[in-house]
Amino acid sequence: MSAPSELPNIVGFACQWCTYAGADLAGNLRAKYPPSIKLIKVPCSGRVEPEYILEALANGADGVLVGGCHFGDCHYKEGNYKTANRMMILKKLIEDSGFDSRRFRLEWISGAEGYKFAEVVKEFTEELQAIGPNPLKKGGN
């Protein structure tokens, strides 16, 4: 594990029904993962506007993680299907805009997958450490 100062800053948008519950479970399970993610609870991954993700990246977040329910599990029936379409296009848009799209990740993590949440955050953190800090970052935080 590297020093905290070298930890990437990840903004996480987590659906309250699945991924946020998964993060809770990760805590209960005492699953270990780096303290690099700042989780924001949203009602549904379908609520995450692509605007939020670009705003986070423009303001210097090293990575953005969007977490939703597995297909068929959405509390609102089809929110995550819309998320899947949006994020697929957004990832290509980020790349076409001349930015490293590896900084943005979409994962389906259910409320039962505490270990998966910890694993995803750990893996994403390591990947971002390998890529280095967000070049859009302008001093301070």
Residues in contact with other proteins by CB under 8 A are 46, 49-51, 53-55, 57-58, 81-82, 84-86, 88-90, 92-93, 96-99, 135-136
Compute the radius of gyration of the chain from its Cα atoms.
14
Q: Under a CB-based contact definition with an 8 Å cutoff, are residues 14 and 24 in contact?
A: no
Angle at 27 between CA 23 and CA 29, to 5 degrees: 110
Name the residue nearer to other proteins (CB basis): 55 or 123. 55
Least CB distance from residue 13 to other proteins, whole Å? Answer: 14
Provide the β-strand partners of residue 65: 12, 105
- Report the greatest alpha carbon distance in the chain: 43
Name the residue nearer to other proteins (CB basis): 7 or 93. 93
Least CB distance from residue 50 to other proteins, whole Å? Answer: 4
Name the residue nearer to other proteins (CB basis): 2 or 85. 85
